[in-house]
Amino acid sequence: MVPAYTLPPNAQDVTIMRALVKETMSREHVDTLARDIEEACSTLAKKGGAHESERKKIVTGPGH
């Protein structure tokens, strides 16, 4: 399950996604998820990075 969320009014143009993984998820499924994420990142890298205006909106660190 990978739901998309919009952020509060001061960041409504930003959409984030998070993966919800159950403790009971099998190792095979975890490996498949990891491969899928790796492929998605590779595809995004080939298509080019985020525009400078989008990069300024990216927040990283604890709690994000």
Q: What are 15-59's pLDDT values in tens digits?
A: 777 777 788 999 999 899 899 989 988 888 888 767 778 777 776
* Residue keyed to tokens 């998605």: 40
64: nearest Cα among 21, 2, 9, 5: 5
- Does the residue 1 lie in any domain? no
Query: Is residue 43 a part of any domain in this protein?
Result: yes
Q: Is residue 34 a part of any domain in this protein?
A: yes
| Position with higher pLDDT, 24 vs 5 | 24
Q: Is residue 30 part of a domain?
A: yes
Distance CA 38, CA 43 (A): 9
pTM of the complete model beyond 0.75: no
- Please check whether residue 42 lies inside any domain of the structure: yes
Q: How would residue 62 be classed by pLDDT, with cut points 50, 70 and 90?
A: low
Structurally, the chain folds into a number of domains equal to 1
